Amino acid sequence: MILLDGAKVANERNLMLKDMIDKDLVKYHRAPSLSIILVGENPASQSYVKGKGKACKLVGINHQLYNLKDDVTEEELSNLIEKLNQDESVDGILLQLPIPKHLNEAKLIDLISKDKDADGFHVINQGYLYQKKPTIYPATPKGIMTLLKAYDIDVSGMDAVIIGRSNIVGFPIARLLMDAGATITVCHRQTKDLAYHTKNADILIASAGRAELVTKDMVKPGAIVVDVGVNRVDGKLVGDVHFEGVSEVASYLSPVPRGVGPMTINALMENTYELYLKHVQK
Ligand SMILES: NC(=O)c1ccc[n+]([C@@H]2O[C@H](COP(=O)([O-])OP(=O)(O)OC[C@H]3O[C@@H](n4cnc5c(N)ncnc54)[C@H](OP(=O)(O)O)[C@@H]3O)[C@@H](O)[C@H]2O)c1
């Protein structure tokens, strides 16, 4: 089994990005800038935001963290987003999800200017994606595609099975894999017999958020398995794939942690850089 080492690939790409940003700093006289909005004190979100801030520092992106109280009103959060939309020194805006239930997540995401949508979640950017037009891709699916490419994995003609159909992972990765030539099956909680589908997969993307849902008996020998899930069990991070068992049958497998997570952060850095170029080259 070959480990899909997201931490290694992401680090290499971040260093390349740093070189590009260093050069652009001389050319455009300013660094890219990302504003991160965190609502409340969810420890998992705090840790993701910390990781994103660290990556910004590494690649040379200026970042500002807005940590709002968890009782912030929708109006206050909307005002902050509007202010950042207007601010010409801001290239990217990221609203760390999930946000408290009293806030309308979809509405707030769409309030972020589509030209500053570093996460690629805006309805218009997702619309471009589904119409195969150039756009900012959602960070996790983009990171997965980059990881596969780094290992010279060509999915064309493969049967791809995706567990999960969320707007930020399952559905867009299905689209990108389909565009890359794979034949797609998307599974979810109403799927009658999950193992029936997963056993046919040449490439399996596990993004259900259920600890060790995918076991060895559910994987076809030689399959490529990408584990997106991040679950905390007894204080430890585990994926949606039972790593030890599945590593005995898979040809490629991404670990958790150090798999898709760092690739997602790298994709976010690359998205912010893309937005920056559009702004400085205007
Ligand atoms: N590594 C990273 O960078 C990264 C980034 C984003 C997310 N994640 C992780 O990836 C996982 C998924 O994230 P998400 O935002 O897509 O989660 P989500 O919005 O909760 O979606 C989960 C999806 O999985 C499906 N599902 C849940 N349990 C299932 C089961 N037993 N069998 C089949 N399908 C099942 C759900 O089906 P229904 O639609 O029927 O409810 C839903 O479509 C989470 O663990 C999250 O933490 C990791």
Q: What is the pLDDT of residue 254?
A: 98
Q: Which of 119, 144, 188, 258 to mutate to test the pocket of ligand 1 (most atoms within 8 A of CB)?
A: 188
CATH of the domain at 206: 3.40.50.720
Q: Is the pTM of this model over 0.85?
A: yes
Residue 227 appears among annotated catalytic residues: no
Q: What is the pLDDT of residue 196?
A: 98
CATH of the domain at 76: 3.40.50.10860
If you take atom 30 of ligand 1, which residue's CA is the nearest one? 189
Which residues, in sequence order, are CB contacts of 21 under 8 Å at separation 6+? 31, 32, 59, 60, 61, 273
Q: Is 10 helix (H, G, I), strand (E, B) or coil?
A: helix
Indicate if 173 and 233 belong to the same structural domain: yes
Indicate if 149 and 254 belong to the same structural domain: yes
Indicate if 149 and 85 belong to the same structural domain: no
Given a cut of 70, the residues of the chain with pLDDT beneath it are: none
User: Domain containing 35: what range?
Assistant: 27-115
Task: For 105-141, write each residue's pLDDT tens digit.
Answer: 999 999 999 999 999 999 999 999 999 999 999 999 9
Q: What is the pLDDT of residue 252?
A: 98
Indicate if 66 and 167 belong to the same structural domain: no
**Backbone angles phi and psi of 76, in degrees to 5:** -65, -45
Q: Are 67 and 45 in contact (CB under 8 A)?
A: no
Report the chain's terminal Cα–Cα distance, integer Å: 46
58 assigned to some structural domain: yes
Q: Are 103 and 70 in contact (CB under 8 A)?
A: no
Strand arrangement of the beta sheet that strand 2-3 belongs to:
2-3, 252-253, 224-227, 203-206, 159-163, 183-187
Q: How far apart are CA 220 and CA 143, in angstroms?
A: 24
Residue 119 appears among annotated catalytic residues: yes
Q: What is the pLDDT of residue 185?
A: 98
- Residues at CB less than 6 angstroms from ligand 1: 140, 163-166, 168-170, 187-191, 194, 207-210, 213, 228-231, 260-261, 264
Residue 64 appears among annotated catalytic residues: no
270 assigned to some structural domain: no
Indicate if 178 and 77 belong to the same structural domain: no
Q: How far apart are CA 122 and CA 108, in angstroms?
A: 9
